[in-house]
Chains A and B, each alone.
Chain A
Amino acid sequence: MTSSTPAAQHDPSPYLEQTHDSYAVWAAETFTAAAAEHGIVLLTGACPQCRGDVEIVLVNTIFAGRNRPGGWLRPGGSADPSSARLFMCTCPLEHPDRPQGYSGCGAYWKLTIEAAAG
């Protein structure tokens, strides 16, 4: 039986919010994107900073609730799938100094998602 060992490549450096031009290039080349129902896009790949496995659920709407701008029951968020969206590492692995309630290593980058021609 064979098994992949992405966790072995994971860099457990302390949590650090930072970006670099190479992050977006790496993600654009290595991440896979799949369209799902309700305009959701699922992206998977390895974080460009810590190499942890990342699964991102990209949503276009979110339940606003009564205390949010936009009013009761109105979904919010960008509805333009062609605009650049920000992504951040959400790997579930441990990174010291990570604030409570956060995930990942702190890396972030922007990608543009487009429907492939043909």
Chain B
Amino acid sequence: MRLTLRAGPAAGIHELHTAQALDALRRTELARVRAAAAAWRNGIGGLLAAVAGFGIVKGRSDIGELTPLWARAVGILLLAALVIGTVGALSLIRAATGRPRLLPVAEFRNPAYHEHVEAVLSVRALRRGIALALAAATLLVAAVAATWYGPARPAGSAAEPAHVPQVYVLVVVGVGGRAEDHRAAV
């Protein structure tokens, strides 16, 4: 798209001060996005770890005790939580650390330009990561609740382990720069 420039109206000194403040914000923008993303990554990682840990502590621990329908529902919930949580975690990591990408020299324009583009993409990844991680936590809670409160298989009914999905929820989160592995076998 070709752009044309026209002289604008007279500029006021207060507008200059606003532009200077905006310029200062832009120069620190990427660092602020990275710091916010790291804080969200750690906080949401802790939340997911707590939810997974809580699921281990109490309640029914074998979905083989549920009716087959509820057992399958729990399996689907856990699988969805795993997939959505993984995508969310990757989005949060991407926002906090950036993409491992090589920039072709021919595409280089201006350091400030590339910093702002990266900040925009990181904010989008951060918002996506927050939404997905919270959705994964909700699914995880729903799976644990269904396991605890779902109807039990009638007494005398043989369990069907071959039809019961053996699902493990693996939550790998960066807390304080370390990767922690929490497995919740349900």
Contacts and interface: CB of A to CB of B under 8 A. Distances in A.
Interface residues of B, number: 37
Interface string A76-94: 0100000011111010000
Contact of A17 (B6, B13, B33): B13
B182 interface: no
Bin the interface of chain A by size: 35 or more
A84 B36 contact: no
B12 to A, nearest CB: 9
A23 B16 CA distance: 14
B16 A112 contact: no
B6 A19 contact: no
Contact of A112 (B8, B11, B127): B8
A111 B16 contact: no
B3 A113 contact: yes
B18 A42 contact: no
Contacts of B8: 24, 84-85, 109-112
Given A42-B113, A86-B15, A116 B3 contact: yes
A112 B10 contact: no
A25 B32 contact: no
B32 A65 contact: yes
A103 to B, nearest CB: 8
A91 to B, nearest CB: 13
A115 B2 contact: yes
B7 A24 contact: yes
Given A110-B9, A116-B3, A57 B112 contact: yes
A43 to B, nearest CB: 8
Contacts of B36: 63, 65-66, 73
A57 B10 CA distance: 21
Contacts of B32: 63, 65
A36 B2 CA distance: 11
Interface of B: 1-11, 13, 15-16, 18-20, 22-26, 29, 32-33, 36, 109-110, 112-113, 116-117, 119-120, 123, 126-127
13 contacts: A21-B7, A21-B10, A27-B5, A40-B113, A55-B112, A63-B25, A73-B36, A88-B23, A108-B15, A108-B19, A109-B7, A111-B7, A115-B3
Given A75-B120, A110-B9, 4 more contacts: A33-B4, A33-B5, A40-B117, A86-B11
